[in-house]
Amino acid sequence: MVKFRLYVNKDRETAWLNEMVRRGYAMEGFFAGFYQFGVCSSGEYVYQIDFTEGFFRIPSDYREFMGEAGVEIMGLWGPWVFLRKRAAEGPFELYTDVESTIEHYTRIRNLFKVATAVEIACLVMEFLAVLNGSSWARVFACVIGAMVVALIREVVRLNEFLAELKSRLGEESRIGRQRRPSRFLAAGMIANAVAFMIENPAWRFQKYCLVLAAVFLIGVGVVRTWIKRE
């Protein structure tokens, strides 16, 4: 069985993989958002997702350490490595103390900050292409805009989570509650991108419906972002 999902929040992704195990499906492979599942006993495995030093590369000492701990490496995507262990062998947690957890999530947040800056630069370039008359640049601009919203949401979430962890150590954090862009903004941008891709006149009505839906979603997103801190 193959399922397609896109996650930015690796904790939600981990929870979903473990929920699939409880339903009797264990992840066997991953590529570009496509998860391949095989049949297993309910609750047979526990999955975790780690953030490694390499990029599409697993250090040999990391692989050896996981092997000695009875942990299987099921997939690799960028710096993310998918791990699993048989539930019968006991609890499976990667970071059990506050200090190592802070270090782990700080590295993830820093990566997302860099990724956000890169995507914003790409978004500016696409806007310039739109001004020069490129029709497909509008599609890419909407998709990249949705990615920027998703990344900013995750950076804000990680900032708040790290502040909470540091408070457990008695450290004072300068980061307060921050506005998190609404998911409706990203949904509206994706709907707009799909509408821009429709060039067949026979689909004109559907295109207008998508544009109206995109405007509605973006409007709702702006309002929710302004009046609510999620």
Q: What is the pLDDT of residue 193?
A: 80
User: Hey, what are 154's tokens?
Assistant: 């995750």
Contact between residue 166 and residue 173 where contact means Cβ atoms under 8 Å apart: yes
Q: What is the pLDDT of residue 178?
A: 65
230 or 7: which leads in pLDDT:
7
Q: For the chain, give me the number of helices (H) and strands (E)?
A: 6, 6
Q: Which residue matches tokens 């806007």?
A: 127
Whether residue 225 is predicted with pLDDT greater than 80 in this model: the reply is: no
**Bridge partners (DSSP) listed for residue 69:** none
**Bridge partners (DSSP) listed for residue 31:** 34
Contact between residue 126 and residue 141 where contact means Cβ atoms under 8 Å apart: yes
What are the domain boundaries of the chain?
Answer: 2-89, 98-227
- For residue 112, the surrounding DSSP H or E stretch is helix 98-131
Q: How many CB atoms lie within 10 A of CB 214?
A: 21
Give the model confidence (pLDDT) of 69-95 as tens digits: 999 999 999 999 999 999 999 899 999
Q: What is the pLDDT of residue 13?
A: 97
126-139 average pLDDT score: 75
Q: What is the pLDDT of residue 51?
A: 93
Q: How far apart are CA 12 and CA 148, in angstroms?
A: 19
Helix-helix angle 183-197:136-168, to 10 degrees: 160
Give the model confidence (pLDDT) of 142-188 as tens digits: 888 889 889 998 999 999 899 999 888 877 666 555 667 877 888 88
Q: Of 10-19, 132-141, 170-179, which has the strongest mean pLDDT? A: 10-19
pLDDT band at 230 (very low <50, low <70, confident <90, very high): very low
Contact between residue 186 and residue 150 where contact means Cβ atoms under 8 Å apart: yes
Contact between residue 20 and residue 27 where contact means Cβ atoms under 8 Å apart: yes
Q: What is the pLDDT of residue 174?
A: 61
Give the model confidence (pLDDT) of 50-74 as tens digits: 998 878 888 889 999 999 999 999 9
Give the model confidence (pLDDT) of 87-127 as tens digits: 999 899 999 899 999 999 999 999 999 999 998 888 888 77
